[in-house]
């Protein structure tokens, strides 16, 4: 299941975070990071998934 989340994180980072933690602080932070730069959004999403 983590492989699918990481795949979604590379394609659309907020979706990967949403699947892991739902709508919360990490989700909104990831949306902000993705808007500011796609790569920071990916890094944050993979970190959130790997952390849990």
Strand runs labelled E in 1-52:
none
C-alpha distances in Å from residue 20, one per residue of 5, 52: 7, 8
pTM of the full structure: 0.88
pLDDT of residue 8: 85
Instruction: Give the count of domains, the chain.
Output: 1
How many whole angstroms separate alpha carbon 5 and alpha carbon 2? Answer: 5
| Domain hosting residue 35, numbered range | 2-51
| Per-residue model confidence as pLDDT tens for the chain (52 residues) | 778 888 889 999 999 999 999 999 999 999 999 999 999 999 999 999 998 7
How many whole angstroms separate alpha carbon 1 and alpha carbon 8? Answer: 11
> Measured in whole angstroms, how far is the alpha carbon of residue 32 from the centre of its chain?
11
């Amino acid at each position: 299941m983590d492989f699918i989340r990481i795949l979604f994180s590379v394609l659309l980072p907020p979706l990967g975070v949403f699947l892991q933690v739902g709508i919360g602080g990490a989700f909104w932070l990831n949306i902000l990071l993705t808007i500011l730069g796609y790569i920071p959004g990916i890094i944050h999403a993979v970190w959130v998934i790997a952390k849990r």
